[in-house]
Chains A and B, each alone.
Chain A
Amino acid sequence: MLKFLKRFYIFIIFTFLYAPIAVLIAYSFNSSKSSKWTGFTFDWYIQLFQDKQIMNSWGVTLRVAIFSAIIATIIGTMAAIGIANMKKRTRSAVLSVNNIPVTNPDIITGVSLMLLFIALRIERGEITLLLAHITFNIPYVILSVLPKLHQADNMTYEAALDLGATPFSAFWKVVFHEIKPGIVTGFILAFTLSFDDFMISNYTGGTAQTLAVTIFSMTKKKINPKIYALSSIMFLTVLILLIIVNLRQDDNNSKKERKLKKVEKNL
């Protein structure tokens, strides 16, 4: 009985989380622009690729997400290494500055950067968008890399130095491998946050519109079903990627298990 209740509860919650997504995907196949269902069509998927505004903002979103994630990962990883070697007091001061964009509401980060760009008389466009995205991405990279640095064994680094490695090659060949998972997590997090952001892009993008900002300007009038089509494609791509990664992991795990069992038998 309890088991049934639990399953039912999970079912209800996930229905709640996925119902709007299902509705959007359904409407991406609706032949009319209104809320009324008038018939099945693929037209929006075809027209989507001819829509300049949507394709432009899709390009802006992708470029900004990729470049801001790469630059934030580099600056953030370097910063994390520096921070890990700081004295306790400096470290906590730097970390509290780092936490400002994390804890501040996005709207405030957005408008504060807007004020900065206005004061510096920089025309708002793709460059300011990139600067803003790097700014809110760095803290997340630092927060993902820092714990890995604390876990990393300092002895191996020193051993490498003792064995004649230069600090750079000791870092590259030893420390880097230990913190790699943190760097990868930071990069993925940065990319996702940038890709998904609306609030900060809204205030710092100016003429350069990300997909989210374009969608927002459409919600004021009527949303074109082409956007549903694009979102459905993106959503299903991520879904399929996740399924593939998961299946491969399972496959790897079961291979490892089989190998282990073989080793055990031989023993």
Chain B
Amino acid sequence: MSTLTADSRRAVNVGAAPSLQERWQRFTGSETFTAYLFLMAPLLILFAIKIYPVFYNVFLSFTNYDLFSPLEFVGLKNYRDVFGAEVNIKAIRNTILFAVGAVPIGTTLALVVAGLLNQPIRGRILFRFLFYLPVITSVVVSAMIWRYIYSPQFGLLNYAIGFFGIPPQQWLNDPSLAMPSLIIITIWGALGGHMIIFLAALQDVPNELREAAAIDGAKGWQTYLYVVVPLLRPVILFVVVTYTIGIFRNFGLIFLLTQGGPQNTTNTLVWEVYQNAFGYLRFGRAAALAMVLLFTILVITALNFRLLREENT
């Protein structure tokens, strides 16, 4: 296409030296000019909200700053503090616990449900809508509903477990149950999104494979487990990574339901970043914590790429 534009314009000008006006027109009609004209606004904004903040955050993590007193450089002090403070180590551990608690169960569940939905059934669109409802619901609404369901005095959940002879629980107020409570909400909230990704991938699996397996005498679920699921490995990896990162980013549920408590059992890295930045105005410390969070996310993403590459070679 570039040759087309350039050639058609050049043809007009054969022989004569181009005037200033013609040169200007050629310049403004060029691909490079159009490209940068179109990219100007998006790139400026992305620089401001994506690239500059990364460097600014790195810078802040080496300083002691709180908006009110003058900024001073403290070197690696913030990082030493992060890894020296028990509460921060606990936050890192809680973040990992959160992911370990939700991702394997959540991913398996999404895979199973997608497999079921990919069967010859009626009402697929309705089911998909019902499964997707929690995904489109805001974290605030989800938190409000679940707070009521978890209510120790008149909650639906305590009533339900009563049928199995389990005594009422404190859920969000119980140090040993608060994190599992958040994990349940997360699994509920994320199921539909990941299911849809698996469903899209399942519909790309060639039928011949299934039929061949069926002829070899494999039952439906066997076909699914041994023939289809291995083919989905790249998608499963993708879901595991986005799921994990999604949990690392989870702020709303913690803010709205537990505020990191009870006894710091739901205190995660994101919550520590928020607390340090906007609660204690310890910007340097918050920035250092954010760097730890970012680093963890980058490592997980890189691992994923590597696994995928090994898969392909």
> Does A pair with B?
no
